[in-house]
Amino acid sequence: MRIVLLFLLQFGLSAWGNAWALSLSPVPVAPNVYAFIGDTGMRSVENEGMNANSGFVVTDEGVVVIDSGSTWQVAKEIHRAIRAVTRQPVKIVVNTGGQDHRWLGNGYFKSIGAEIIAARPALADMQARGAMQLDGLSQTLGEKAAGTQPVYPDRLFDQSETLRLGGQEIQLLYFHGGHTPGDSVVWLPKQGVLFSGDLVFVDRLLGVLPFSSATDWLASFNVMEKLGPKTIVPGHGQVCDLDRARRDTGDYLRLLITHMKQAVDKGIALQEAIDSLDQSAFSRLANFDLLKGGNASRVYLEMESQ
Ligand SMILES: [Zn+2]
């Protein structure tokens, strides 16, 4: 009797667990190009740390995944969702940066034989922050982070690398980093589709973090604009066009930098510079109240150190 009860309890719990597992649905962006749109809130048990976008390109010679997700289990879910679209194997995974949700799913994809590629500065960032990221995720996600290990890219590129697979041309481009030092983009010139990684945030306020550089970020954004993408899969938020990316990311970075540079040049103190900055044009974006103060003070400190 006790065994039966234990069995029922265990079976019931695992069914419950599965019912609550993250489920990803690919959004078609162009023929054979798909995005996964993650939650725009903070990392949580419900979103399994996948509060960011990723995606994939299907070719006749295999699939290229853009960003491996936040955990082993999320990577496995990405793979399940890909297999619902194609039987082609995942050949290559690109990490567009060193944030946890861009690369901590690498271990799963490596286990199914994929090669992992990233821009060179992303590796140093992963090595510096990987243990801390995993610690943070384990605390937030508990069991949901099980099996996740920091697995580094197999291959690095410097400025650019072009993947040619099954007639598709997939360009990996590194500009100057920004949100993180290793931020790169994936550009599909034929389709006019850009996977911007963390260089573009829409719908939610971007975060200038201790390892970010607003100056580098805006410089990267300016180069990226010149590609003239028709469609952008941003790092965070819904699929958008360049105008939207400018409104939610480029314009905001420009506001922060211009205001704080002037303040530092005039010898205005940090608190006064923060108080006199009007960010209200961006209050429509999610996480505004949470991030606006930190963004202002970090960009001030960055301008002061230049
Ligand atoms: Zn991100």
Question: How many Å lie between the centroid of ligand 1 and the Cα of residue 272?
Answer: 29
Question: How many Å lie between the centroid of ligand 1 and the Cα of residue 53?
Answer: 8
- Taking Cα atoms as reference points, which of 253, 256, 84, 83 lies closest to residue 176? 253
Q: 228's torsion region: left (phi>0), alpha (psi -120 to 50) or beta?
A: left
Question: How many Å lie between the centroid of ligand 1 and the Cα of residue 133?
Answer: 12
Domains in the chain: boundaries: 21-242
Question: How many Å lie between the centroid of ligand 1 and the Cα of residue 100?
Answer: 8
CA–CA distance, 178 with 19 (Å, rounded to integer):
38
Question: How many Å lie between the centroid of ligand 1 and the Cα of residue 201?
Answer: 8
Per-10-residue mean pLDDT, the chain, length 306? 50 49 94 95 92 97 98 97 97 98 98 98 98 96 95 98 96 98 98 98 96 98 98 98 98 98 98 98 97 98 96
Question: How many Å lie between the centroid of ligand 1 and the Cα of residue 22?
Answer: 18
Question: How many Å lie between the centroid of ligand 1 and the Cα of residue 52?
Answer: 6
Question: How many Å lie between the centroid of ligand 1 and the Cα of residue 12?
Answer: 35
CATH topology of domain 21-242: Metallo-beta-lactamase; Chain A (3.60.15)
Question: How many Å lie between the centroid of ligand 1 and the Cα of residue 117?
Answer: 18
Q: How many helices (H) and strands (E) does the chain have?
A: 10, 12
- The pLDDT value recorded for residue 37 is 97
Question: How many Å lie between the centroid of ligand 1 and the Cα of residue 54?
Answer: 10
Question: How many Å lie between the centroid of ligand 1 and the Cα of residue 24?
Answer: 17
- Say if CB 236 and CB 51 are below 8 A apart: yes
Phi, psi of 168 (to 5 degrees): -95, 140
Tokens representing 164 are 């040619």
Q: Could you tell me which residues come within 8 angstroms of residue 200 by beta carbon, excluding any fewer than 6 positions away?
A: 221, 224, 232, 234, 235, 237, 240, 245, 248, 249
Neighbours of ion ligand 1 (CB under 5 A): 52, 99, 198, 235
- Say if CB 121 and CB 181 are below 8 A apart: yes
